[in-house]
Amino acid sequence: MHHDDQVLLGEHKWNSATETKWTIRRKVAEILVHPNFSKLSKMDSDIALLRLNSPVPLGPERAIVPICLPANDEDFTGHIGTVSGWGSVSSYGFISSILKAAHVPILEDEECETMFGTAFTKNMICAGLKEGGKDACQGDSGGPLAVLGQGRRWVLAGLVSWGRGCGRPGTPGVYVRVAGYINWINNITGALDTCG
């Protein structure tokens, strides 16, 4: 199975050619989409793993450090998540050339269910300010919602999945609940400890 997709690691400003000291480029050898994912099924299980064509050297000296995976079924309700990406800076606006981040509180499932009804499933979390103004947007999909955990380590709480507009009051962004997929990830990766 051949993919033309590529992954850039250590990227910050995607339209700059001078960042090559930190940037590593890899071809995607395989895309492993979760077997339960279907666009028809309300974006449930909106998660995939990419197998790269060769290993990536990691560590602080490379400026590329892996994020920690959450514990199985770990709950991040009430934590502040940091969502980042190069997506639009307004609904259907221009995409950003530099990596941007926003801090958003992770809400209780009941709140999300009230706002989104049956579109919100147990495999999702939602995050955002009641007044709006901070959110992921078009072009951020698949990006991380990270929570600063114990030992000042970043933990991957969610993946940008969907929303209704961007940053609207009372309309938080919806994310994949990564903690619900740890067994699936471990089965494929051989339970790699990326956090050591």
Which own/partner contact pairs does 148-152 have at CB distance under 8 Å and 24+ positions apart?
148/82, 149/68
- Confidence at residue 175, expressed as pLDDT on a 0 to 100 scale: 97
- This prediction has a pTM of 0.90
- Confidence at residue 24, expressed as pLDDT on a 0 to 100 scale: 87
Answer whether 140's CB lies under 8 Å from 91's CB.
no
d(CA 89, CA 134): 10
Secondary structure (DSSP) of 46-64: --EEEEESS----BGGGTB
- What are the pLDDT tens digits along the chain (196 aa)? 456 888 888 877 777 766 666 788 899 999 999 999 977 767 899 999 999 999 988 876 777 888 999 999 999 999 999 999 888 877 767 778 888 889 999 999 999 999 999 999 999 999 998 888 888 888 888 999 999 988 888 999 999 999 988 889 889 999 999 999 999 999 999 877 777 6
124-127 β-sheet, strand order: 100-105, 80-85, 144-148, 154-162, 173-177, 124-127
